Chain A
């Protein structure tokens, strides 16, 4: 390798370090959440997610305090065999274990010259003993959190175990109908789809009609009308929430899908019309002229010519609109609330009502992110294009 090349590589080194470091900072928080959502909940609250592949909790404390007499596998003393569930079951909690360690054993201090463990260490040792005796064996990774979150299970154990032993909560039936439990993410996922799909299709259809008229139909007032409709982009949706929720209250539309469909359609339109007119207006004029000369009506020209040609624009627009609605909290909070909980609502509700139920929160968060992530990685090009063009939207 020549000196030149080494110099060049060294010169680039800071760039690589900074860039890879930034990428790591961007990824680590999300990665931590993913790992956590896959861990048994007992482990989540007792050790950081970064220790997931480390030695089981308490093994170090055990080898410091106990292994010299009991052996590293706990089997060295036959009558105090730590792999025997009968023996370990007498000391399931750290308090009992500590009390036992303080007692004299055959006239000698139980631990000899080894210092007495701290309460936290004792708890870890008790945990470890339960593990090696097979009383409580927990895998490193589990899908239980996802099942619990989907079904809306909120008990001390987990959905699968409780259903197997018949101790489930009253609102659970332990069959597929639980996917529709109003407290669960399964139902919320369905609701989010029921909101996002019509709210994506409706404005796109209406905007295509309007965009076609604004580019290829000659009528008076079209210039100022177009300017007015597109100008409505500057109205932030906060500006309209209050009158509309009053209007909806009178019409009985609060908490209905129809209400939120209309709202999102209205707010999707200014940008959608702007984009569709720009796209349709840039199509070659000869195309439409020859179609009309051949006797095509506006409907034929729109349906057979304009729409098929605008698929790329429709894709960008559709992805942007879909994700915008999927990720929206404010509008769903105001118009649907708890009556038809969507994913974002359900999660924000779990934050306030569950406190530190990280196993459910992390799994729920990932359920809500799954679809956007798939869309992002599979349709990145359209996604970025739509996102950039639409970012100014209210």
Chain B
């Protein structure tokens, strides 16, 4: 930062007021929209349902109570919240694993063909549309008919192979996977694009040297490419973890959190706007930010390091 200070020519000091004219509008809006509410949410998480009394006032004698942390007790121990945490963990593991590995696979394969740009455009396309639109697309794929005719592609395939129809979105053992597939479909393009850029920066001489020495493509991939692009993979993984922790729209549109598909962000919305429990909702929001902050900090550090190397 010191260097950028020196960059500014000295003749450019134009009084004390001018700089603030440029910064003030942004500063004011950000204070009102981000800083003040974030602090307020933090305080609300220690208050009761309508934010008027301490959270401890909601305690019932004879039941477990964490005093002022009562909302956090609910957020961490209520059965619906525990199921939301379990589901979010499943989302993080499967969706991050799925998008990163698929993205890497496609990035590697696309490098070897002439229609690379087209293939990448197709995979990236879902990033342009909304989660809501993607939700409709996949709800139709998963459509479940009770009659002879199956208009959902997946059930049509299953029945034509002689299987029984499956209710992909309401059967508890399956529905979380059905939702995660939609997420993978949407975000693989993002991982692919970043990983592909990293792969292109791997020096060709190293790869050629290994191939001349008789290394198989498999070994070249695992022993040379992956180690070199490991920092990028790490950034992609953390970015995806942050995104997945906040997943909301897919669940809201496709199942509404029913049939055991609840996730943290949807729970937060439900507590506030359906149950009108602002204290609980705020506590969930605080937990959500506490979960994401370590990944955020790690990510920013990583990006700084990379910029320093360049």
Contacts and interface: CB of A to CB of B under 8 A. Distances in A.
A134 to B, nearest CB: 25
Given A12-B112, A23-B122, A48-B151, A242 B289 contact: no
A265 B28 CA distance: 11
Given A229-B27, A330-B269, A15 B253 contact: no
A159 interface: no
A281 interface: yes
Contact of A26 (B126, B131, B139): B126
Contacts of A358: 140, 143, 151
Given A229-B26, A388-B190, A19 B113 contact: yes
A263 B132 CA distance: 21
A160 interface: no
Interface stretch (B34-42, B63-71, B72-80): B34-42
Interface stretch (A84-92, A175-183, A371-379): A371-379
Nearest to B19: A219
B41 A267 contact: no
Contact of A369 (B33, B110, B133): B133
Nearest to A31: B137
Contacts of B162: none
Given A30-B137, A209-B23, A267-B33, A240 B41 contact: yes
A238 B265 contact: yes
Contacts of A356: 143
Interface stretch (B81-89, B207-215, B218-226, B238-246): B238-246
Interface string A221-262: 011010101001011101111111111000000000000001
Interface string B147-189: 1111111001000000000000000000000000000010000
A114 interface: no
B136 A388 contact: no
A72 interface: no
A149 to B, nearest CB: 12
B268 interface: yes
A206 B128 contact: no
Interface footprint category on A: 35 or more
A172 interface: no
A207 interface: yes
Interface stretch (A125-133, A289-297, A309-317): A289-297
Given A29-B137, A292-B11, A239 B38 contact: yes
B137 A348 contact: no
B124 A384 contact: yes
A228 to B, nearest CB: 9
A347 B132 contact: yes
Which of B36, B44, B129 neighbours the largest number of chain A CB atoms within 10 Å of its CB? B129
A44 B122 CA distance: 26
Contacts of B249: 329-330, 344
A240 B19 contact: no
Contact of A348 (B140, B252, B265): B252
Given A33-B140, A347-B132, A212 B193 contact: no
Given A219-B19, A242-B272, A392-B242, A209 B25 contact: yes
A334 interface: yes
A334 B268 CA distance: 12
Given A120-B148, A236-B289, A263-B33, A50 B246 contact: no
Interface stretch (B53-61, B90-98, B291-299): B291-299
B153 A383 contact: no
Contacts of A344: 130, 132, 249
B18 A217 contact: yes
B46 interface: no
B1 interface: yes
B14 A297 contact: yes
A347 B134 CA distance: 11
A281 B4 CA distance: 8
A48 B156 contact: yes
B261 to A, nearest CB: 15
A292 B9 contact: yes
A37 to B, nearest CB: 10
A232 B272 contact: no
B281 interface: yes
A16 B113 CA distance: 8
A213 B126 CA distance: 37
A352 interface: yes
Nearest to B106: A22
A122 interface: no
A151 interface: no
A70 B211 CA distance: 71
A98 interface: no
A240 B29 contact: no
A155 interface: no
A270 B135 CA distance: 29
B110 A19 contact: yes
A384 B148 contact: no
B309 interface: no
B308 interface: no
A381 to B, nearest CB: 11
A368 B162 CA distance: 37
A302 B123 CA distance: 40
A368 B133 CA distance: 7
Contacts of A143: none
B91 to A, nearest CB: 16
A323 B33 CA distance: 21
A229 B30 contact: yes
Nearest to B281: A242
A146 interface: no
18 contacts: A15-B113, A28-B153, A29-B138, A48-B151, A209-B22, A210-B25, A210-B26, A210-B27, A215-B7, A217-B8, A217-B14, A225-B23, A235-B289, A243-B41, A289-B9, A302-B22, A334-B269, A373-B129
Q: Which 9 pairs across A and B sit closest by C-beta, in order of nearness?
A: A266-B33, A327-B130, A240-B37, A213-B22, A243-B40, A219-B19, A376-B128, A243-B37, A365-B136
Given A32-B141, A356-B143, A362-B136, 10 more contacts: A15-B113, A218-B10, A218-B13, A229-B27, A241-B272, A263-B33, A270-B30, A298-B14, A298-B22, A384-B193
